[in-house]
């Protein structure tokens, strides 16, 4: 394990984790709303927002999948040291992180069951940019409608059609995060 894996966690873990958790839950409760999520300094190519989510939501009982270019020794070691989360394949993951193309196919992740719809995966999608433009979002937590740049509107629409089953998404870029729960309806702009 490299010494870089030992660095980059929350400087004031209890306070920083509480702030990150609040920002993540605000984003999930208000789909499409972009929040700032800082405090973590993970190794490249992991964004600060994705790193903060991982530090906040993962522990030794939370299987995690690293997709594509994020499945590198520095990121694996950092996650292992700071969270203890076991690294697994897509089918076993509670959380998965990667760029959209690397996280495909979506049907490789758990979508829950009719008895336990909460036993599904949450994907942390690393985006080049997050902006309040593009797809139109409606549903719980949204007053009328809002807009958010999404990587694939059709895939998000298919996922929402599975509700109450499906995958939940956090979209991250630099120190910004937005969420798209499976209950959100998605339309083209």
Any idea which residue has 């998965």 for tokens?
A: 96
Q: Is residue 37 part of a domain?
A: yes
Q: What is the pLDDT of residues 16-35, one digit of tens each?
A: 889 999 999 999 999 999 99
Q: Give residue 6's pLDDT.
A: 67
Q: Give residue 5's pLDDT.
A: 62
Backbone CA torsion sign across 179, 50, 47, 19:
positive
Say how far apart CA 189 and CA 132 lie, in whole Å: 11
- The beta strands (E) that lie in 62-157 are given as 64-66, 95-99, 122-126, 135-138, 146-148
CB atoms under 10 Å from CB of 149, counted, come to 19
Number of folded domains in the chain? 1
Q: What is the pLDDT of residues 69-81, one digit of tens each?
A: 999 999 999 999 9
Q: Is residue 151 part of a domain?
A: yes
Q: Give residue 175's pLDDT.
A: 96
Q: Could you tell me which residues come within 8 angstroms of residue 167 by beta carbon, excluding any fewer than 6 positions away? A: 106, 109, 111, 120, 121, 122, 123, 159, 182
Q: Give residue 14's pLDDT.
A: 85
Q: Is residue 143 part of a domain?
A: yes
Cβ 87 vs Cβ 66: under 8 Å: yes
Domain that includes residue 112, residue range: 3-184
Each residue's pLDDT, cut to its tens digit, for the chain (189 residues) gives 555 666 777 778 889 889 999 999 999 999 999 999 988 989 999 999 999 999 999 999 999 999 999 999 999 999 999 999 999 999 999 999 999 999 999 999 999 999 999 999 999 999 999 999 999 999 999 999 999 999 999 999 999 999 999 999 999 999 999 999 999 999 987
Cβ 82 vs Cβ 17: under 8 Å: no
Q: Is residue 41 part of a domain?
A: yes
Say how far apart CA 114 and CA 137 lie, in whole Å: 25
Say how far apart CA 83 and CA 71 lie, in whole Å: 16
Q: Is residue 189 part of a domain?
A: no
CATH number at residue 148: 3.40.50.11310
Tokens read off for 156? 């998000």
Q: Give residue 173's pLDDT.
A: 97
Q: Is residue 175 part of a domain?
A: yes
HSE-up of 106 (CA within 13 Å, CB side)?
23
């Amino acid at each position: 394990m490299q010494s870089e894996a030992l660095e980059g966690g929350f400087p004031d873990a209890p306070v920083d984790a509480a702030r990150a958790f609040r920002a993540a839950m605000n984003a999930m409760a208000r789909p499409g709303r972009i929040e700032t999520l800082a405090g973590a300094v993970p190794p490249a190519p992991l964004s600060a927002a994705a790193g903060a989510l991982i530090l906040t939501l993962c522990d030794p009982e939370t299987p995690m999948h690293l997709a594509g270019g994020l499945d590198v020794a520095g990121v694996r070691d950092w996650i292992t040291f700071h969270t203890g989360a076991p690294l697994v394949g897509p089918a076993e993951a509670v959380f998965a992180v990667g760029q959209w193309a690397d996280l495909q196919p979506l049907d490789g992740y758990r979508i829950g069951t009719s008895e336990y719809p909460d036993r599904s995966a949450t994907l942390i999608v690393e985006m080049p940019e997050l902006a309040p433009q593009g797809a139109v979002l409606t549903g719980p937590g949204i007053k009328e409608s809002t807009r958010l740049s999404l990587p694939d509107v059709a895939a998000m629409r298919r996922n929402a059609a599975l509700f109450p089953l499906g995958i939940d998404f956090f979209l991250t870029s630099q120190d910004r995060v937005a969420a798209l729960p499976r209950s959100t309806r998605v339309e083209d702009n």
